[in-house]
Structure 1
Amino acid sequence: MRTALVIGTGLIGTSAALALAGRGVTVHLRDHDTTRARTAAALGAGTDEAPEGPVDLALIAVPPTHVAGTLAEAMRAGAAHGYLDVASVKGGPQRELAALGLDLSSYIGTHPMAGKERSGPLAATADLFEGRPWVLTPTSDTDTEVLNLALELVALCRAVPVVMDADAHDRAVALVSHTPQLLSSMVAARLEGADDTAVRLCGQGIRDVTRIAASEPAMWVEILSANAGPVADVLAGVAADLEATVESLRALQSADEAKRDGGTAGVADVLRRGNAGRSRIPGKHGAAPAAYEVVAVLVSDQPGELARIFADAGRAGVNVEDVRIEHATGQQAGLVQVMVDPAAAPVLAAALRERGWSIRQ
């Protein structure tokens, strides 16, 4: 791949353009908002000047409802030898393109499983896709050369290619991406009218659950509108669990011992199934989730504190597998939860204490 055209210079389009430009591809940028295209160009993502002829690959990075129209326009203009989109929904755009009577041999639907709560070119980074799955949904009509161009794009962005059927992809993202977004927003919405006293008690649990609720509503309306059926199916299952759990919790307040026992069993069941589902989420390097030990370290909110912890762990010969930070409310301090192999936890705790760190159980 020598040349590419990126249509849509938001987070995903600009991040892909940055990755391609950084690896020697000449990237042309186009957006209905010319200011965004100029911003992306100023960031080093390419040029906002039009290409002189067809490019090797056109990457369509617009909302799902605009994918088919934008692709059709580019195809009819002969803008590229191969075309792909990066919308988070695949079945609908594919069917819309087929209905337009276009030759789909030069097109492949794709979806990089990466993103941020922030949007726009200023949020873009060249490493956004590194190590992340990038779904490809070829059909029997997809030309081999176009599939190879898509695979090259994924490689240049250092992502991991995953080949799926378009409708299977849509059902999967409804479960692992779109429904979590709605549930996160629903939980966060409970905080809008909550007493200030309750909000001040927010800890890491509520922060984790509501993190993605900060996402752009207009963008998510577009995404959910394009995948409404599969998302509604998943939510129907969640609603059934919610109804059963509400009944179980009400039963725990009953004076009837049998009802209380039933309520306990119901709550325990949903928690147990949650444990089982959580255990299926791939862990580090895509392997089965490992059981890490947490060494909690109290740190002040000062420059260099995290670097010192990691350096001290390295001196102790301990590999840090993961890390989380729990901020203290109203204090310039917090807990750094360093996750390590269970056998290494006592070694790390002793080494950090020796170097003056305050370890919390």
Structure 2
Amino acid sequence: MTTTLRTAVVIGCGTTGTSVALALGFTGVRVTLIDDDPRALDEAVSLGAGTAWTPGLPPADLVVVATAPSAVVDVLHSAQSRGLGHVYTDTAGTKDIVCAEAELRGCDLKGYVPGHPLAGSDAPARDDTAAAGRFTGRPWVVCPFETTPDWALETVDALIEACGAYRIDLAAHVHDRIAAELSHGPHLIAAALATRFADSSEAFLKLAGNGLRDAVRSAGGDPWLWGDVLAHNAGPVADVLDRVSAQLTRAAAILREGDACAPLELAPTLEEGRRGQAALQRVAERRTLRDAPAGERM
């Protein structure tokens, strides 16, 4: 690595932004923080993530925009207009619309490297708190433009290295398709399932097992943030929902028919589901995705 990060500005002090700041600070980077919410800013400072940004500071080596997808381009354009840094990146969970809007808005694309650390939701929750090791051993997707220069990528590489993650390059639209399959679609499905129990009695819910709790765990994320993410990846998420809905509709029809062949007709879906669960479990048991056999389908 030829690029050394000395200074960084992190805009957005949610779980992801604060975790990035903590990781950078741990490696000796001088981090300043910006957030419209004074309470979020004060909390990040109290955690040791950095100091509050003040006007007059020289441009930082790197500016990290850690906001919801709908705010990224406005924040990026403003930060570049004010000259807050030399290289800019973001952490939003969607990339295609963000990249297109950044180009239409006239942002400096040569200094902007779209990114997405795959380490969980940015929604605050009891089991989702900021930590310097949040990204250790995890993939960090980068979606560079065709014109992105090496010096900008090297700066983002230094960020990823400081956070203990590893870089994966994807086209923006490919990233969003993958995110829809692995995260966004499943989140909405989990939320829909969890709505069945929102007003249930405690006596009834005590009968639930760990399998159900695991199935709906992701539904605990911030509804506003997740609504923003889903709206920014609408097409790919809708495609996932259509496919799952078709499978469930077919299963419901088989069960309603009450035919003696129902177990046989349901078996292909159940077996494919079993294989999918096993595949996910195998990957989870590996140290990182880099340990997967070469040539596996992305």
**Residue matched to 2:61:** 56
How many Å apart are 1:118 and its aligned residue? 5.0
Match of 1:188 in 2: 194
Match of 2:296 in 1: none
**Residue 217 of structure 1 corresponds to which residue in structure 2?**
223
Is it true that 1:89 corresponds to 2:127 in the alignment? no
Matched, 1:264 2:269: no
Conserved? CA contact 2:15–2:122, under 8 Å? no
Q: State, as a whole percentage, how many aligned pairs show the same letter.
A: 37
Measured after TM superposition, the shift of residue 116 of structure 1 is 5.1
Q: 1:28 to 1:213 in 2, by over 3 A?
A: same
- Supply the distance in 1 between the matched residues of 2:66 and 2:108 (Cα, whole angstroms): 20
Check conservation: 1:9, 1:120, Cα contact below 8 A: no
Query: Aligned equivalents of 1:44 and 1:120: distance in 2?
Result: 19
> In structure 2, how many angstroms separate the alpha carbons of the residues matched to 1:196 and 1:37?
37
Counterpart selection for 2:286 from 284, 287, 306: 284
Q: Distance in 2 between matches of 1:275 and 1:200?
A: 26
After TM superposition, list the pairs within 5 Å mapping 1:69-80 onto structure 2: 69-80=74-85
Distance in structure 2 (CA, Å) of the matches to 1:90 and 1:49: 27
Extract unaligned runs of 5+ from structure 2: 294-298
Match in the other structure for 1:27: 31
Residue of structure 1 in register with 2:44 after alignment: 40
Q: Which range moves more in the overlay, 23-32 or 210-219? A: 210-219
Q: Distance in 1 between matches of 2:75 and 2:67?
A: 8
Please say if 1:65 is aligned against 2:70.
yes
Work out whether residues 11 and 115 of structure 1, in 8 Å CA contact, stay in contact via their aligned partners in 2. no
Question: Any idea what the Cα deviations from partners look like across 1:275-316, whole Å, max 9, x if unmatched?
Answer: 222233223223569xxxxxxxxxxxxxxxxxxxxxxxxxxx
Higher strand share: 1
Letter in 2 for 1:275: R
Pick the aligned partner of 2:245 from 218, 223, 239: 239
Q: Are the counterparts in 2 of residues 19 and 156 from structure 1 also a CA contact under 8 Å? A: yes
Partner amino acid for 1:229?
A: G
Query: Taking structure 1 as reference, are residues 124 and 227 closer, same or farther at Cα in structure 2, changes over 3 Å only?
Result: same
Aligned partner of residue 36 in structure 2, secondary structure: coil
Query: How many residues are aligned here?
Result: 282
The question of whether the paired residues in 1 share the 8 Å contact of 2:109 and 2:148 is answered with yes
Residues 1-361 of structure 1 mapped to structure 2, 5 A cutoff: 1-50=5-54, 52-115=57-120, 118-119=123-124, 123-251=129-257, 253=258, 259-261=259-261, 263-281=262-280, 282=283, 283-285=285-287, 286=289, 287=291
C-alpha contact 2:62 2:86 (8 A) present in aligned 1: yes
Residue identity in the other structure for 1:284: R
Amino acid in the other structure paired with 1:221: G
Q: Deviations over 1:19-71 (max 9, x none)?
A: 00111000010011122112211111011032611100000001000101100
* SS of residue matched to 2:134: coil
Letter of the aligned partner of 1:69 in structure 2? Answer: D
- Contact between 1:117 and 1:212, CA under 8 Å: does it hold in 2? no
TM-score (norm 2): 0.90
In the alignment, what sits opposite 1:357?
Answer: none
Q: Which moved more, 1:37-46 or 1:63-72?
A: 37-46
Give the TM-score, by structure 1 length: 0.75
| Cα deviation, residue 191, structure 1 | 1.2
Name the amino acid aligned to 1:279. Answer: A
The aligned amino acid for 2:176 is D
Is the 1:61–1:87 Cα contact (8 Å) retained in structure 2?
yes
Task: Give the unaligned 5+ runs of structure 1.
Answer: 254-258, 290-361
Specify the alignment match of 1:342 in structure 2.
Answer: none
Structure number with greater CO (CA < 8 Å, separation at least 6) is 2
